[in-house]
Amino acid sequence: MAHATRHDVSDRAAKQDDPYRSRISLLPEIVPRVDPVLYGGRHSAGPLTSEQLASYSHDGFIQLHGLLDAAEIKALQAEHVRLRTNRSTIDQDTLILEPGSAELRSVFQIHVQSDLIGRLASDARLVAITRQILGDDVYIHQARLNYKPGLFGKEFYWHSDFETWHVEDGMPRMRALSMSILLTENTPYNGPLLIMPGSHHHYVRCVGETPDDHYKQSLRKQEYGVPDADSLSQLYVAGGIATLTGAAGSIVVFDCNAMHGSNSNIAPLPRSNVFLVYNSIKNRLTDPFGGKKPRPEFIANRRKATALAPRSVSLFGDR
C-alpha cells in the first residue's frame, strides 16, 4: 500500500485550512463567504451613494449610466471594431475563438494592447469606484474585450470568477470586482449578462480536479470550476436571476464571487463589452490554490501588479 509523503499530507492540510478550497472533493458544497463585500463600509467616501453601496452589498452588483459621454462611447466602439477587424496587430496568444468556429470570442490583456482601453482602465471615475468598494489601491488583474457576434456567439455558463481566480491563479481572498462596460446595446435577446442577486454571499465548492493547462479549453468553454445543478438551483431560489440590459456606455459593477453567466446570442445583433477586473493591492496573487502551475500573464497579472495612478476624467486627455 502506498503511503502519503509528508509533502502530500501538508498539502492536504493547507487545502483544508483554505476557506475557499474547491475541486478537491467528490461532492459539491455551498459555504458562507468569510470576507467583507464593502471593505470601506456602507458610508465610505467616494462617487457612489450610500444607497448604491447598500444595493451592491445586498445584490452583489450595481448598474451605472451616464458615466461616459457620447464621444467617449463612440471612440470605444470604433476601437473595438478596429481590434476585431485587424487581428494582425494583436498578440495571437491573447485571441480566444468561439468553441467550434473561427469567430472571435475574447481578446485578453486588452488594456496593454490598446492605448484607449488602457486609459479607460486607469480612468479616475472607474478607479474611484473600485477604491470605494475595495477600500484600497487597486491594479488590473485581468482585462479583455468580449465579443458575442450576432447569430453565432456562444454562452458563458454560470460561474463565480473568484472560484477560478483562487484555484487557478492564486487570488487569496474576495477583494476584487469586475466592471463590464457595454459597447453595444444589451437587450434581453442578444445574450446580456445574467447575475443571481445575493449569490456573492455564498461560495460554491466545485468538483473535479483541474487538468493541466486548463485555460486552453476553459476560455472557449469551461468544464471545470462549473457549479453543480443543485447549488445553482438553491442560489436561484434564494435570489432569482437579474438580466442586465442597457444602452451602450452603461457599466455593470459586480463582485468577484457573484454567480453569473450569459446566454448564446441567436439574435442578429452583436453584444460586446470591455471587461475590467480590479484587485486590491493587498490581494496580489500567490501560488494557485489548486496546485497547478499559474495561468499565463495575459490572463492573470502577476509581474505588473502595481497600483493604478488614476487619470483625469476624460479618455481624450486632461481636462
- Give, as one character, the DSSP assignment of residue 25: B
Residue 317 maps to a domain = no
Mean pLDDT of the chain: 88
Is the per-residue pLDDT at 40 higher than 80? yes
Assess if residue 141 is contained within a domain: yes
Query: How far is the C-alpha of 168 from the C-alpha of 225, rounded, in Å?
Result: 10
pLDDT of residue 131: 97
Q: For cell 457599466, what's the residue?
A: 251
294 within some domain = no
Tell me if 139 is assigned to some domain.
Answer: yes
In SS3 terms, 62-102 reads as EEECCCCCHHHHHHHHHHHHHHHHCHHHCCHHHEEECCCCC
CA-CA distance, 246 to 258, in Å (whole number)? 19
194: containing domain: 8-283
For residues 55-84, average pLDDT: 95
- Work out the average pLDDT over 176-204: 96
Residue 125 located in a structural domain: yes
Bridge partners, residue 177, by sequence: 255, 278
Give mean pLDDT, residues 254-267.
93
Q: Which three cell numbers stand for residue 109?
A: 490583456
Closest CA to 179 of 317, 63, 75: 63
Lowest-confidence region among 171-180, 223-232, 256-265: 223-232
pLDDT tens sequence across 209-252? 776 655 555 444 456 578 999 999 999 999 999 999 999 999 99
> Where residue 317 falls among pLDDT bands split at 50, 70, 90?
low
pLDDT tens for 130-147 read: 999 999 999 999 999 988
Q: Could you give the number of structural domains in the chain?
A: 1
The verdict on residue 293 lying in a domain is no
Does residue 62 fall inside a structural domain?
yes
pTM flag (> 0.85)? yes
Q: Is the dihedral of CA 104, 161, 195, 247 positive or negative?
A: negative
Q: What is the pLDDT of residue 91?
A: 86
Which pLDDT score is estimated for 261? Answer: 94
- How many CB atoms are located within 10 Å of the residue 30 CB? 16
- The CATH number of residue 118's host domain is 2.60.120.620
7-21, 40-54, 75-89, 124-138, range with the lowest pLDDT: 7-21
Count CA atoms within 13 Å of residue 263 on its CB side.
Answer: 17
pLDDT tens-digit map of 287-303: 999 999 999 999 999 99
pLDDT at 151: 78
Q: What is the pLDDT of residues 263-278, one digit of tens each?
A: 888 888 888 999 999 9
pLDDT tens digits along 44-61: 999 999 999 999 999 999
Rounded percentage of the chain residues whose pLDDT exceeds 90:
67
213 or 104, which is more confident? 104
| 93 vs 181, residue with greater confidence | 181
Residues 227 and 28: beta-carbon distance below 8 Å: yes
Residue 206 pLDDT exceeds 80: yes
Residue 1: what pLDDT? Answer: 37
Query: Does 311 reside within a domain?
Result: no
Angle at 160 between CA 158 and CA 166, to 5 degrees: 145
Q: Residue 213: its pLDDT value, please?
A: 57
pLDDT of residue 147: 86
> How far apart are the C-alpha atoms of 202 and 174, rounded to whole Å?
11
Question: Is the pLDDT reported for residue 79 higher than 90?
Answer: yes
**Judging by DSSP bridges, how do beta strands 95-97 and 104-108 pair with one another?**
antiparallel
